[in-house]
Structure 1
C-alpha cells in the first residue's frame, strides 16, 4: 500500500494543520509527511466542503503554484487535486505527475487533458459536476457506484486512458451539510463493497479520514484490512501503524486516537 500525504494550499481547509501558504512551508511540510510514512504527495488549492469559498482558475493557480514548486523540489511524485482544467494543465506543465481529477473527468476538456498527458489519473465516483454540487445517492450505494464506473470507464476507453486510471470511491466528498451519522453508514457500506471494484482490474485509491473519533478509525481499519493499492492520508504515520497492526493480526483499538487532530 502506498500513501499520498495530503498538503492543503487552501486556507479554507478544515484540516488546518495541513495548510501551507508558500513554497518553503510546503517544502518543509511535505518533507515531514515523507519522513512519517508518505510515499507521494497530493496538493490542492480549493476546499470542497460547503462553506469554502469558490476560487477562479487564476486564483487557484496563484494559491497553489508556490506550494507545488516546493513539493516538486523534494523529488517525489506529486498529484494535483483540482476540478478546474486550467489549474490541472498548469500543474502538469510544472511537473505534477498524477492528476487527481476532482471533476471525475466529466468535462470533455478535463478528459482531453488527461488523454494528452502520459500521467496516472485518479477517477473519483461522483454524482454531480464537481465536489461542491453533489447529489445524495438513492438505493444501494455500492451498486450505484459500480454502475457509474461502468459508464465512465467505457468513456475513458474511447479516449484511450482507461489503463492509466486509479479508482476512488469518492468518499472524500459529500453533499453539503450531510450529517455525520448518515455519512458514516454510507461510507461503511461503500468500504464494505470495495471488492466489487476489482471487476475493473484497476488500482483502488481511498481518501482516509483525518478526524480522530472511534467511528472514523473503524472506517480507516475497514479500508486498511483490504488489499488497497493507494490511500490519501493526512496522518501517514498513524496509517502505517494501524496497517501494520492489521497485517500482524493484532489491530489497534479504535479508541487509540492521536491528540491534536480532533
Structure 2
C-alpha cells in the first residue's frame, strides 16, 4: 500500500501524494531533448503546452531548459535562464496556478526559477554535484526531487544496495544543509547510466527502495525512454503503450509521482490502477 506524503508549497497550496498518484507533465523548453526537443522552445508554444496539460489534469508542470539525453551539450547558466524564466513568467501571467518544478542541475537557475514562481526543485544529480543546490532548497524550504545518477555504475553493480547507499548520502547532504527531511522526494533515475537489465531490475524491486526510505515519496520517470524502445524496438513517439505499462507497474510497486509526456493517458491508467488496488 502507498505511504502518505504532504507538502506545503510557497504559494500556500497543498500537494498530497499517496494512493492518488501525482502526474508531473514534462515541459522541455530545449532544442535538443530526446523526445520533444524543439517542440516547446518558444514562450508561445511552452505556454500552449502548459495550458493543454492543465486541461488534461496535470498535478505538476516540470520545466527544463537543458537536455540530459546521452551526448547532450551543456548550456551556460544564462542560456538556461533565458529558456526557463520567460516560460515560468508566461505561465504565471496566464493565471495558471499549477505547481511548477524546475528541472535543473544549476543552483542559480533553481534560485531564479523559484523567485519567478516555481515551487519545486528537480535535481538530476541528487544534490551531490553542486553543494549549493541543497542550500537553495533550504533557503526557500521547497520540496526537492533528488534523482539517482551515478556515472561510475557498471553492469555488475548490485542496484538496490548501491542506490540506497547513494540516497543515504543525499539525505545526509540535505540534513547538513538544514533541508527538512519531509521535503525530499527520491527518483531512482531510470535510464541514467544504467543498463537495460538494471532499469527493469530497479522497477521490479522498487518496493525495496521504498522500504528503505518509508518517510520519503518516490518519483518514477520512464516516459518514452530507451528502456522501453529497446524492448519494443520503436521510436520515442511510439512508446506510449510501453510508458503506460511501466507507469502502472511503478504505481503498483508503491510509486507516488510519475513524470510523463502524455498527461491524460497516464492519468487514466493511474486512475484504473488506483481503483484496482483500493476500489473504484
TM-score bin (small chain): 0.7 to 0.9
Q: Which residue of the partner structure matches residue 76 of structure 1?
A: 98
Structure 2: runs of 5+ lacking an equivalent: 1-20, 225-235
Are 2:140 and 1:113 equivalent residues in the alignment?
A: no
**TM-score, normalised via structure 2 length:** 0.77
1:199 to 212, 224, 229: 212
1:85–1:136 CA distance, 2 compared to 1 (3 A)? farther
CA drift of 1:246 comes to: 2.8
Structure 1: runs of 5+ lacking an equivalent: 129-133, 251-262
Give the paired residue count. 238
CA drift of 1:70 comes to: 2.1
Aligned ranges 1:87-106 → 2 under 5 Å? 87-106=109-128
CA drift of 1:40 comes to: 1.5
Would the aligned equivalents of 2:219 and 2:256 in 1 still touch at CA under 8 Å?
Answer: yes
Would the aligned equivalents of 1:4 and 1:232 in 2 still touch at CA under 8 Å?
Answer: yes
CA drift of 1:208 comes to: 3.0
Would the aligned equivalents of 1:142 and 1:190 in 2 still touch at CA under 8 Å?
Answer: yes
**Aligned-residue CA RMSD in angstroms?**
2.2
Partner of 1:240, secondary structure, is: helix
Would the aligned equivalents of 1:188 and 1:219 in 2 still touch at CA under 8 Å?
Answer: no
The CA distance in 2 between the partners of 1:168 and 1:35, in whole Å, is 26
Q: Which residue of the partner structure matches residue 154 of structure 1?
A: 172
User: Which whole-Å deviations, capped at 9, do the CAs of 1:166-203 have from their partners, x for residues lacking one?
Assistant: 111111x423xx7xxx42x2221111222122332111
CA drift of 1:163 comes to: 2.1
**TM-score, normalised via structure 1 length:** 0.82
Partner of 1:204, secondary structure, is: strand
Are 2:59 and 1:39 equivalent residues in the alignment?
A: yes
User: Which whole-Å deviations, capped at 9, do the CAs of 1:26-64 have from their partners, x for residues lacking one?
Assistant: 221101012123111000011111232221101111122
The CA distance in 2 between the partners of 1:233 and 1:18, in whole Å, is 17
Aligned ranges 1:157-196 → 2 under 5 Å? 157-161=175-179, 162-171=181-190, 173-175=191-193, 182-183=195-196, 185-196=197-208
Q: Which residue of the partner structure matches residue 160 of structure 2?
A: 142
